[in-house]
Amino acid sequence: MLSLSVNGQSYPVDVPDDMPLLWVLRDVIGLTGTKFGCGMAQCGACTVHLDGQAVRSCVLPVEAIGNRAITTIEAVGNTPSGQKIQQAWLEVDVVQCGYCQSGQIMAAAALLARTPQPTDQDIDAAMAGNLCRCATYVRIRAAIKQAATGKAEILQTIGSTPEGAVS
Amino acid sequence: MKRFLLTIVVLLLVGTGVYLYLNRSDSSDGTAPAMAGAPPAADVIARGEYLAKAADCAACHTVPGSDQVFAGGVPFRLPFGTIYSSNITADAATGIGGWSDDDFVRALHDGIGKHGEHLYPAFPYNSYTLLSRSDVLAIKAYLFSLPKVSEPNRPNELSFPYNQRWAIGFWNAAFFKSQRFQPDATQSAQWNSGKYLATALGHCAECHTPRNFAFALDHRQEFAGEVLQGWRAYNITADPAHGIGSWSDSDIASYLSTGHADGHGSAAGPMAEAVENSLRFLQPVDTSALVAYLRSVPARAGLDPIAVDTKPAPALASSDYAPAGDAQANAQGLKLFEGACASCHQWNGKGQQTPYASLLGARGVNDVRGNNVTQILLHGSGQRSEGASVFMPDFGNAYSNTEIAALSNYVIGHFGNKQGMVTPDDVAERRKQL
Amino acid sequence: MSTGTFSPKPEQAVDLQRRQILKSSGLAIAFLWLGGTGAASAMISARRQPGDTAAAMADGNPPFAPNAFIRVDSEGPVRLVMPSVEMGQGIYTGCCMLLAEELGVGLDQIKLEHSPPSDELYGIPALGGQITGGSTSTRSTWSVLREAGAVARSMLVSAAAVQWHVDPSTCTVDRGVVHHAPSGRSASFNQLAATAGRLPMPDKVQLTDPKDFKLIGKPIRRVDAADKVKGATQFGIDVRVPGMKVATVMACPTFNGKLASIDDKATRRVPGVVDVLRLDNAVAVVGEHFWAAKKGMEALVIDWNRGENANLTTRQLQDAIADSARNGKGIVARDDGARPQGTLVQSEYQSPMLAHATMEPMNCTVHVTHDRCEIWTGTQVPMRAAQEAAKITGLPAEKVVLHNQYLGGGFGRRLETDWVEQAVALAKQVPYPLKVVWTREEDIRQDHMRPMYHDVISAVVDANGRPAWFGYRTSGGSVLARFAPGAMGKDGLDDDAVECVVELPYDIPKARVEWIRHDMPPGIIVGWWRGVGPTHNLFVVESFLDELAHRANKDPLEFRRSLLQKNARALGVLNLAAEKIGWGAHPLPPRVGRGIALGEPFGSHVCVVVETEVTAQGEVRLRKVVAAIDVGIAVNTSSIEAQVQGGVLFGLSAALYSELTIKHGAVEQGNFNDYRVLRINEAPVVEVHRVVNAEPPGGLGEVGTAIAAPALANAIFAATGVRLYQLPVDRKLLVQNPEALKSVASASAREGSEVA
Ligand code: FES
Ligand code: FES
């Protein structure tokens, strides 16, 4: 019987040692905010934090966790960076289908926690492992910047040209 | 004219004599040193199973992922064509069910098939010739205890003259010697059993010893490393810079039994298969014996020696989650790494989620030609051990030669602190292998 | 491009005006077969009948349920039932805006509900059924939902007026409260619900004057975002039912292959494995959790009967379809008579099979008991899914209860019901609720893929290079023929196959357009893929138009402009995009190019300019994208931007990387390592600009995808001089010279540098 510390709560779980954390969270504990996308660390949908570090839970055997603290999307809002990221995500209106977004937010929150003012390169390095099939990338970038600077990124690049005004 | 004819006849006779002499069989039975994991000869099938695993018969005779155990059909792409391994189940029609003990012994000791035909030396009779007769028969007993699989052998695809089996006799005359394992009385019992494991059973040399122009092992360079089927088998001599001289005993043991040693990377490709199918089944005492023997192999630098940078500056300057130092270098490779690789391998190369993903100290990333880095990127690698499966996806299908080359060079630069030399054309070449 | 001289024939006058302007386009045409013009009014007047207890149970028995979309309880938020499904396109927000605008509530005062299966109540008029697809939702429900909101508001106002004995026209509504200013009275919708529920439907309602819109036309944040950023949204894959077990499946990898036999001894030894179930062509391992099921599947020894496709390869399919395109007998979609005199120019284009790869793999939870089948899944076609389940279980339709969920991406994949059918067939075999979750590999290998196409496109050009006639022979499998055979057009024409090519935006007097139906071998099932027919047709037409421009030595922008003088809306987006990117303003660095593409898919008008660099070693780096769109009246401008950005990048991702290939009769790809998808570090900025007008709304969700590939191909041509006749981009063709591949691959010299 392993004991996992998830979002500040301790869960005794009786599962095979090699079972990836993702399935323990989703199918045993019942925290379904963490998503399954590929099962081979290629998409980032399953990203959670281990002691604040973004990891891919789909390839993380539970036995390797030890007593490190697990944080999932359900509780990342309790961390300062997670809170900022979620807020910016809402303000910039990032999500589309939303399926990848738990992972995106976990990756972005980990980035912001260690690099409060990320450059474009920092953002790429932290976020390139997270796929979004809806391709919300443009707004993800904007939202991370907004979370970092507190300055409103332009929500709309959309410039409206009145009828007939185009030449 | 008569003299000339006579000379010819004499030469032919002498030649035949020499040929026959050099091809003579050593009919002695030999004795195997004690191995902790191999039950005594009385429990012949159990012993045979242990030996068959140690000899990694499955690697060549079972198609990976197939349930047709020992049914053959595994392709070996050699520079001169493709050879397919044969069915060695006890099926009478397609396997070796009709082979007598002597037939089987002759195959392993002398490289001669049931019908007197020469076997290609891709089958490591060069090594198995060292096995004791009773060990050979234990292996046979084990094979015959398994389900028979009806699976006809696939014809080899070799070009002339390599499709001429008789020519192997000349090859044997030049490069092969039928002989049993001779214990070295001046060495410990442990060393002797280690040597038996490494040479007769494990046939490490078949991959790790360089080959000469005729594709025969160059024993002067024993264990100094070679490239086979696109993969580089590394230098496993005691050379501290280029071999495994600086590894601790437990590092080597761990690598052999789990496919990974902290600070030295993980086995991939054929070595991962050897661990999965063979080496992980060795009893720890036998693994130690193997280590003890490998330790004694004289240091050699080998060709294209690889020096491992144990403290690669770019990786050490990086954190778990972000690159440093070389962020601008090889931007294309870096971009690919951050997308598909960093979440497992990490920028500091420590490996996340599993220690198998650690790249620090691995020889692959220190090889400026990037043989194995390219191979593993193209074809992936998988290994199942201790119940857990570790795997690296293959990226060959969706990534261009230029991308694979750029990524290889980035990885070599970042984790090996060397200027990688992989070109897109190299990758194109390597795609054709394996 | 091959050219040849065409023998002269007398020219015929063509009257462009005689052609009917299509009222709808895209998939919408395809579905008109049910022709449900009456559906809209049914939806609006669908008031629950007194005594219909089942309906009352289902909708929570609110005192006021004036139609299929609005429920007002005596306390709590107003509940809105969404006719379309939410798969990322933002339709829930759009629908809420339309309803809330007229109803008079704030978006923060509502609660959303997925609609239950019902063609009658939630059928999209243009599609004739409860289907979300074809970028039709807003176009179809634009008036319906506003009217539904207005009806409800009018009844709530009447309720207040009755209570207060005042003239309803003296009452106002603001954020869910009816006010009577003269008397200072006010009452909330909750308080008025019971009274309103007893009033009759009004005969007429007044819709809000667009100039008074509070929501419509503004950038509005999504109503489903708050839950999605907290991981609280329930997707199909997140459903948990008491007593549920989890299965994963493997269907025969070879198309149309069957299950021969299995050996499950090792599987049953895997801890947590509960059951091994079989279907005709698939096997499922059931576990206490997905991991057990997956491990069990790995341990399973399966023998497939690979069937007649066992040796099929992509190459065989390509050759056969090319032959059809060149020599097959076509069904004529448009023919304006004899070709005019001039030079005949001709090219052939190929488009690959594509997977949807929705981020959420296919999944479905089912509980079948002797008299009931309950289903939880995310589907674009709830009614069809429920009907299939009824067939499989043999239960009457009303005994099948389907709970739709949020969709982790649709892109057309969830217009199918195959995985639901499979899950029902498996769940039927067991007493417990069964959740079937596909691995990513299964999701890609068992996709109902976007068909491959082969097209022969030609034009007769005059001495100035201006096209006077245009010919198109397109060959491919028909999605429609399977999906809705009744919707096939005259002579068996699949309108989707020629969408955006029968009617070109350009002033080209004559055309002949043919579709050569080329069915795939049995077992290869082709499906709708975001952008459907237009995605492939626009790639061909707009690439070819670029060829004509270059052939005429004209700038591609100028060339298009000269052909758009009669089409103000198309010209509008063309000029806007060109202006915003600064077309022609500065010379571009070597091997950097811009490509332009224009189209009128899904009732909208769009122009995209892609700017890309191609390295000496042939790698494509996207630098910038500018899109100009005319969707007519805008519902949510934020959503327009998001959909165009996402849609364009989705299309670019496919054009750059995506292709399903077949070997031994099975799909070779399986996961994101080999079915590659665009990542954030490859994604350029996508600027979206809109031409503002008050035309009826056009489609949106697929527009960006449909126009992306030709803009990229044209940009690559501009950068390298290499015309791409086949997707995805073959980077080997783009290598500057063979020497480049002999040198170490690393950054190009200009990497990262900004170009003035
Ligand atoms: S599910 Fe873990 S990275 Fe995709
Ligand atoms: S929002 Fe749909 S996959 Fe990212």
Mean pLDDT of chain B: 89
Q: What values do phi and psi take at C463, rounded to 5? A: -60, -25
Could you tell me if B428 lies within 8 Å of chain C, comparing CB atoms?
yes
B31-54 pLDDT tens trace: 888 888 888 767 899 999 999 999
Q: Which comes out higher in pLDDT, residue B338 or B382?
A: B338
In a domain, C679, yes or no: yes
pLDDT at C136: 79
Q: Which of residues 81-100 of A touch B (CB under 8 A)?
A: none
pLDDT at A72: 98
Mean pLDDT value across residues C340-349:
96
pLDDT at B187: 94
H or E stretch at C533: helix C532-551
- Protein residue with least CA distance to atom 4, ligand 2: A132
Could you tell me if B393 lies within 8 Å of chain C, comparing CB atoms?
yes
pLDDT at B35: 86
Helix residue ranges per DSSP H, B201-351: 205-208, 249-258, 269-277, 284-295, 313-317, 331-336, 342-345
Homologous superfamily in CATH for domain B313-430: Cytochrome c-like domain (1.10.760.10)
Inter-chain Cβ pairs, chain A and chain B, closer than 8 A: 62
| CA–CA distance, C296 with C293 (Å, rounded to integer) | 5
Report the pocket of ligand 2 as residue ranges, CB < 6 Å: A 95-101, 132-134, 136; C 88, 359, 409
**What separation, in Å, do the N-terminal and C-terminal C-alpha atoms of chain C show?**
34
C106-137 pLDDT tens trace: 999 999 999 888 888 888 766 778 888 877 77
C174 and C35 in a single domain? The answer is: yes
Point out the ligand 1 atom lying closest to the alpha carbon of residue A42.
3
C292 and C202 in a single domain? The answer is: no
Strand C685-691 and strand C620-630: pairing? parallel
- Ligand 2 centroid to Cα of residue A104, in Å, is 9
CB contact under 8 A, C751 and B332: yes
- Report the CATH number at residue C185: 3.30.365.10
Radius of gyration of chain B (CA): 23
Q: Which domain holds residue C72?
A: 7-229
**3-class SS letters over C489-500:** CHHHCCHHHHCC
Q: Which has the closest alpha carbon to B407: B390, B424, B383?
A: B424
Q: Which has the closest alpha carbon to C613: C528, C720, C697, C519?
A: C720
- Ligand 2 centroid to Cα of residue A133, in Å, is 5
Torsion of CA B185, B191, B192, B193, to 10 degrees: 150
Instruction: Retrieve residue A79's tokens.
Output: 């961390």
pLDDT at C45: 61
Residue C193 contacts residue C200 (beta carbons within 8 Å):
no
Mean pLDDT value across residues C281-309:
95
The domain total for chain C is 3
A23-74 pLDDT tens trace: 999 999 999 999 999 999 999 999 999 999 999 999 999 999 999 999 999 9
Ligand nearest to the CA of A136: 2
Chosen for mutation from C220, C228, C294, C682 (greatest number of chain A CBs closer than 10 Å) is: C228
pLDDT at A115: 95
pLDDT at C47: 62
Q: Which of residues 120-179 of C touch A (CB under 8 A)?
A: none
In order, the DSSP letters of C677-728 are: ---GGGPPEEEEEEE---SPP---TTHHHHHHHHHHHHHHHHHHSPPP-BSS
C57 and C94 in a single domain? The answer is: yes
pLDDT at C50: 57
Instruction: List chain B domain ranges.
Output: 34-175, 189-296, 313-430
B16-35 pLDDT tens trace: 777 777 777 788 888 888 88
Ligand nearest to the CA of A46: 1
C371 and C475 in a single domain? The answer is: no
The residue of chain A nearest to residue C271, with distances taken between CA atoms, is A16
Mean pLDDT value across residues C384-394:
96
C653 and C560 in a single domain? The answer is: yes
Residue with tokens 């009931």: C372
CB atoms within 10 A of CB B386: 12
Q: Which long-range contacts (CB under 8 A, 24 or more apart) does C269-277 make?
A: C269/C299, C270/C295, C270/C296, C270/C299, C271/A16, C272/A16, C272/C296, C274/C245, C275/C245, C275/C247, C275/C430, C276/C300, C277/C247, C277/C426, C277/C429, C277/C430
CB contact under 8 A, A42 and B391: no
The residue of chain B nearest to residue A114, with distances taken between CA atoms, is B321
Mean pLDDT value across residues B250-260:
94
Q: Which residues contact C260 (CB under 8 A, 6 or more apart)?
A: C303, C304, C305
Q: Which residues contact B136 (CB under 8 A, 6 or more apart)?
A: B104, B105, B108, B109, B128
pLDDT at C737: 93
| CA–CA distance, A149 with C212 (Å, rounded to integer) | 36
Radius of gyration of chain C (CA): 28
Strand C177-180 and strand C171-174: pairing? antiparallel
| CA–CA distance, C550 with C547 (Å, rounded to integer) | 5
Could you tell me if C579 lies within 8 Å of chain A, comparing CB atoms?
yes
Provide the b/e sequence for B166-182 (b: ≥16 CB within 10 Å): eebbebbbebbebebbe
Mean pLDDT value across residues B414-430:
94
Chosen for mutation from A22, A40, A43, A120 (greatest number of chain B CBs closer than 10 Å) is: A40
Range scoring the smallest mean pLDDT among A95-104, B383-392, C286-295: B383-392
Taking the CA of residue C520 and the nearest CA in chain B, the distance in Å comes to: 24
In a domain, C347, yes or no: no
CB contact under 8 A, C745 and B406: yes
CB contact under 8 A, C681 and B339: yes
H or E stretch at C110: strand C110-114
pLDDT at C15: 29
In order, the DSSP letters of A107-159 are: HHHHHHHH-SS--HHHHHHHHTT---TT--HHHHHHHHHHHHH-SPPPS---E
CB contact under 8 A, A138 and C234: no
Residue B364 contacts residue B357 (beta carbons within 8 Å):
no
Could you tell me if A141 lies within 8 Å of chain C, comparing CB atoms?
yes
Range scoring the smallest mean pLDDT among C50-59, C345-354, C439-448: C50-59
Residue B386: left (phi > 0), alpha (psi -120 to 50), or beta?
left
Full-model pTM = 0.92
pLDDT at C459: 98
Could you tell me if A97 lies within 8 Å of chain C, comparing CB atoms?
yes
- Ligand 2 centroid to Cα of residue A96, in Å, is 6
Report the Cα C230 to chain-centroid distance in Å.
26
Band the pLDDT of C46: cuts 50, 70, 90: low
pLDDT at C33: 31
C416 and C459 in a single domain? The answer is: no
In order, the DSSP letters of B312-323 are: -HHHHHS-SS--
pLDDT at C389: 97
- Nearest Cβ partner for B388 among A53, A61, A126: A61
Pocket test for ligand 1, best of A35, A38, A104 (most atoms within 8 A of CB): A38
Band the pLDDT of C1: cuts 50, 70, 90: very low
Percent of chain B with pLDDT over 90: 62
Q: Which has the closest alpha carbon to A124: C703, B331, C574?
A: B331
Q: Which comes out higher in pLDDT, residue A154 or B114?
A: B114
pLDDT at C118: 84
pLDDT at A120: 92
CB contact under 8 A, A59 and B321: no
Evaluate if residue B213 carries a pLDDT over 90.
no
Interface residues on C facing B, Cβ-Cβ cutoff 8 A: 263, 301, 615, 617-619, 657, 668-669, 671, 673-676, 679, 681-682, 731-732, 740-748, 751-752
C475 and C384 in a single domain? The answer is: no
Band the pLDDT of C23: cuts 50, 70, 90: very low
| CA–CA distance, C219 with A41 (Å, rounded to integer) | 35
Q: Which comes out higher in pLDDT, residue C216 or C50?
A: C216
Is B345 annotated for ligand binding?
yes
How high is the ipTM of this complex?
0.91
Could you tell me if C429 lies within 8 Å of chain A, comparing CB atoms?
no
Could you tell me if B155 lies within 8 Å of chain A, comparing CB atoms?
no
C505-534 pLDDT tens trace: 999 999 999 999 999 999 999 999 999 999
DSSP tag of B97: T
Burial environment of residue C186 by CB neighbours within 10 A (0 to 12, 13 to 18, 19 or more): middle
DSSP tag of C488: -
E strands in B54-195: 75-78, 81-84, 157-158
Q: Which residues contact C662 (CB under 8 A, 6 or more apart)?
A: C255, C312, C313, C314, C317, C353, C668
Ligand nearest to the CA of C411: 2
Angle among Cα A52, A53, A59 to the nearest 5 degrees reads 130
Ligand nearest to the CA of A60: 1
In a domain, C428, yes or no: yes
Burial environment of residue B333 by CB neighbours within 10 A (0 to 12, 13 to 18, 19 or more): buried
Q: What values do phi and psi take at C443, rounded to 5? A: -60, -40
Residue C472 contacts residue C498 (beta carbons within 8 Å):
yes
Mean pLDDT value across residues B86-91:
94
Q: Which residues contact B137 (CB under 8 A, 6 or more apart)?
A: B44, B101, B104, B105
Residue with tokens 């290869």: C524
Mean pLDDT value across residues C36-50:
54
| CA–CA distance, C371 with C529 (Å, rounded to integer) | 36
Chosen for mutation from C250, C297, C439, C617 (greatest number of chain B CBs closer than 10 Å) is: C617
pLDDT at B10: 74
| CA–CA distance, A59 with A57 (Å, rounded to integer) | 5
Point out the ligand 1 atom lying closest to the alpha carbon of residue A41.
3
CB contact under 8 A, B401 and C741: yes
CB contact under 8 A, B397 and C752: no
CB contact under 8 A, A15 and C692: no
Give bridge partners of residue B164 from the DSSP assignment: none
Burial environment of residue C268 by CB neighbours within 10 A (0 to 12, 13 to 18, 19 or more): middle
C519 and C417 in a single domain? The answer is: no
Residue B365 contacts residue B412 (beta carbons within 8 Å):
yes
Range scoring the smallest mean pLDDT among B33-42, B392-401, C366-375, C586-595: B33-42
C659 and C625 in a single domain? The answer is: yes
C250 and C381 in a single domain? The answer is: yes
Mean pLDDT of chain A: 92
pLDDT at A156: 55
What helix, strand, coil percent values describe chain C, rounded to 5?
35, 25, 40
Instruction: Retrieve residue B264's tokens.
Output: 């030295």
Band the pLDDT of A162: cuts 50, 70, 90: very low
Please report, for residues A23, A108, B230, the alpha-carbon distance to residue A75 in angstroms, rounded to integers and kept in the order given.
18, 14, 48
In order, the DSSP letters of B22-69 are: HT--------PPP-TTS--TTSHHHHHHHHHHHTTHHHHHS-TT-S-T
DSSP three-state, residue B124: coil
Strand C70-71 and strand C78-82: pairing? antiparallel
pLDDT at A152: 85
Band the pLDDT of C43: cuts 50, 70, 90: low
Point out the ligand 1 atom lying closest to the alpha carbon of residue A58.
2
Evaluate if residue A135 carries a pLDDT over 90.
yes
Evaluate if residue C204 carries a pLDDT over 80.
yes
Residue A101 contacts residue C229 (beta carbons within 8 Å):
yes
Q: Which residues contact C754 (CB under 8 A, 6 or more apart)?
A: none
Mean pLDDT value across residues C157-180:
96
DSSP three-state, residue C210: helix
Report the pocket of ligand 1 as residue ranges, CB < 6 Å: A 36-39, 41-46, 56, 58
| CA–CA distance, C68 with C91 (Å, rounded to integer) | 17
B287-316 pLDDT tens trace: 999 999 999 999 999 888 999 999 999 999
Domains of chain A: 2-71 (3.10.20.30), 77-149 (1.10.150.120)
CB contact under 8 A, B343 and A53: no
The residue of chain B nearest to residue A66, with distances taken between CA atoms, is B353
Helix residue ranges per DSSP H, C300-413: 314-327, 382-393
C175 and C271 in a single domain? The answer is: no
Band the pLDDT of C142: cuts 50, 70, 90: confident
Evaluate if residue C485 carries a pLDDT over 50.
yes
